[in-house]
A and B are shown apart, each in its own frame.
Chain A
Amino acid sequence: MNKSFLTALCATGALMFGAAQAADGPSDGSVKVGVLTDMSGVYAAIEGPGSVIAAEMAIEDFGGEVLGQPIELASADHQEKADVASSIARRWIDRDNVDMIVGMVNSAVGLAVQGLASDKQTITMNTGAGSQELTESQCSKYGIHYVYDTYALPVGTATAMVENGGKKWFFITADYTFGHSLQKSTARVVRELGGEVVGSVNAPLGTNDFSSYLLQASSSGADVIALANAGNDTVNAIKQAHEFGIVDRGQKLAGMLVFLSDVKALGLETAQGLQFTTAFYWDRTEKSREWSQRFLDKHGEMPTMVDAGVYSATLAYLKAVEAAGTDEADAVRAELGDMKINDFFVTDGSIEPNGLMPHDMYLVRVKQPSESEGPWDLLEVVSTIPADQAYIATEDSACPLLGE
């Protein structure tokens, strides 16, 4: 290889380099929604293929087009890995002109994608991840947190348990952002009500044998063993607690985040009596029943609160695009902040400047097998926690955006 040849190559390269910088940023002709979720992993039953169907339903119900352009849908599996998720999000935004990303179950994923998307001025509507950080210290102008957060979850559940005599708490916590965040806010509620935390142990995400942790919890003398985890982790922990007879010997389990799919997986026999907080239950109002039935027909399973949230968020986004007359993120975000969201999922919801969408939450109880009248008749709504009690007040939020 000779030198002049190399020089020539380098020169070509330099030329192309210049050319590429000039030709940048074509505008796109459609509105594209991306569902970024866990299609086959630990949380797939919560927000997996079902949430893609929910987004499809929202687009269909909206009429399939907005501003005279067809609405497109992309979906991808983030495999519970923040790096995979952010490289997909990056590609979607850079290359595929995705305008809004919804889903993102798993807080590590949620935070990574929200951070990346807000650098690139793209709206994210987080329906799956729970960490309160999303609207607190790591809040973003373009990041919306839609379904639930770790502040809202313990309010109903912990209050109910402490009032029933569960004063001493032991935590089994999923060892990442979400788990720690959930443990912290639950402990706060417990202490405020006069309870105490007697211990905690961190279990890796995706643990399949909780017996050692359960044993520590059991010998701690706690009244309540709180599971600050989600999805299959919760299911495994509850199942193994029964296997070791922990519940039979009087200690109570508190699932701090339980989904309908978890109850289904556990079965009523094991799950009966479990109380938890949820943002949605299909059998609550006429409207929720009607939508859920349609979802059931398509997906074969009743929607989790996250599936319902994906539908609601997608629909709200499309309405905002229409009202704003553009898919430009700043205009759409302003519209989302001004409008009232009303559907089967939320009544008079509005999105705060920090991205939070406060709405009513429900304390539910798993029915006994004898009370259940059908394969999906699993829960009973015990009480409603009004939005202003469930979620942190905007003036207490630590989101730096609010100071501006």
Chain B
Amino acid sequence: MSLNAILAQTMLGLSQGVFYAMLSLGLAIIFGLLNVINFAHGALYMLGAFVALIGYSYLGPWLGQPDWHMGFWTALVVSPLLVGGLGMLIERFLLRRLYDFDHIYGLLLTFGIALILQGLFANYFNISGTPYPGQPESLSGIVNLGFMYFPKYRLFAILFSIVVCFATWFVIERTSLGAVLRAGVENPKLVEAFGINVPRMVTLTFGFGVALAALAGVLAAPIYSVSPLMGADLIITVFAVVVIGGMGSILGAIVTGLMLGLVQGLTQAVYPPAANTVIFFIMVVVLLIRPAGLFGKVV
């Protein structure tokens, strides 16, 4: 294979990898603080994309204003807020009741929520996807990267996601807000003693993690068709990413997400059928060698 072809597949891998990174970052934050594996993460990503689609194509006509569209940039703000809000409600009224029990129940609860969300949307929207027509004019067209022609929008999605990921990492690892968060993970009682409302912090954190998923959903909408099941298969891969990165590790989630996207892109070029499974092979190998994951601390 030529160098150009390898570079080109790498770019495609990267454009997949940023979605892994965004989703696994949200999962890692939630897992770090709540010890809950959020199985509904994929469904909330799907919901994020649907907020953008409904806002663009359906909301206007419903309100009797057929010409009105909620634009892409608006959706990029509105969707994470709405979905994040829903996430906070889920945490406050459902998940919170389970903290005294085995963590497995959190996983099972969110699995149920994922089924409900997917089922609801599958009733009203085609399972194989509805195109999102709201891609901004300024981002349409292609750019010549020298080794390939690449759609402008995908380039934007890659850069935007990387910025969001590293900004999140910076806030959590390098600011005082993040310090409180991290302390809350280590010792909630102590943090409480300093007068910080830990339950509220947990709710907000869950909302933030979920908002990241919704943001990824909006970014994905113009690239992939918006479909009720778009998150269902993705989430399993993202779980693997989180496990490989080391559960709860913020940097691990980001770096592993990007890296595995690249690996997947290259696999797709060499042996396409294995593209969806290569991550699971890596996961098994990593767990055999480093049970806590690449970036995880050995407990």
Contacts and interface: CB of A to CB of B under 8 A. Distances in A.
Interface of A: 40-45, 175, 201-204, 206, 208-209, 211-213, 215-216, 219, 231-232, 236, 239, 243-245, 249, 265
A363 B149 CA distance: 32
Interface string B209-227: 0000000000000011101
B197 interface: no
B131 interface: yes
Contact of A215 (B9, B126, B153, B223): B9
Contact of B272 (A43, A202, A244, A265): A202
Contacts of B77: none
B151 A244 contact: yes
A215 B128 CA distance: 23
B273 A175 contact: yes
Interface residues of B, number: 32
Given A236-B225, A249-B149, A208 B129 contact: yes
B8 interface: yes
B126 A208 contact: no
B16 interface: yes
Tell me whether chain B's interface is mostly helix, strand or loop, or mixed.
mixed
A44 B122 CA distance: 13
B148 interface: yes
A261 to B, nearest CB: 11
Contacts of A249: 149
Interface of B: 2, 4-5, 8-9, 12, 15-16, 122, 126-129, 131, 142, 148-151, 153, 223-225, 227, 230, 265, 268-269, 272-273, 275-276
B265 A212 contact: yes
A40 B126 contact: yes
A369 B272 CA distance: 36
A232 B273 contact: no
Contact of A44 (B127, B225, B272): B127
B229 to A, nearest CB: 9
A206 B131 CA distance: 15
A211 B265 CA distance: 10
A212 B268 contact: yes
Interface centre among A43, A204, A211 (most CB of B within 10 A): A211
Given A175-B273, A219-B4, 15 more contacts: A40-B122, A42-B128, A201-B272, A208-B129, A208-B227, A211-B12, A216-B5, A219-B2, A219-B8, A231-B128, A243-B151, A244-B149, A245-B142, A245-B151, A265-B131
A219 B149 CA distance: 11
Nearest to A215: B8
A232 B16 contact: no
A208 B227 CA distance: 10
A232 B128 contact: yes
A41 B128 CA distance: 5
Nearest to B222: A243
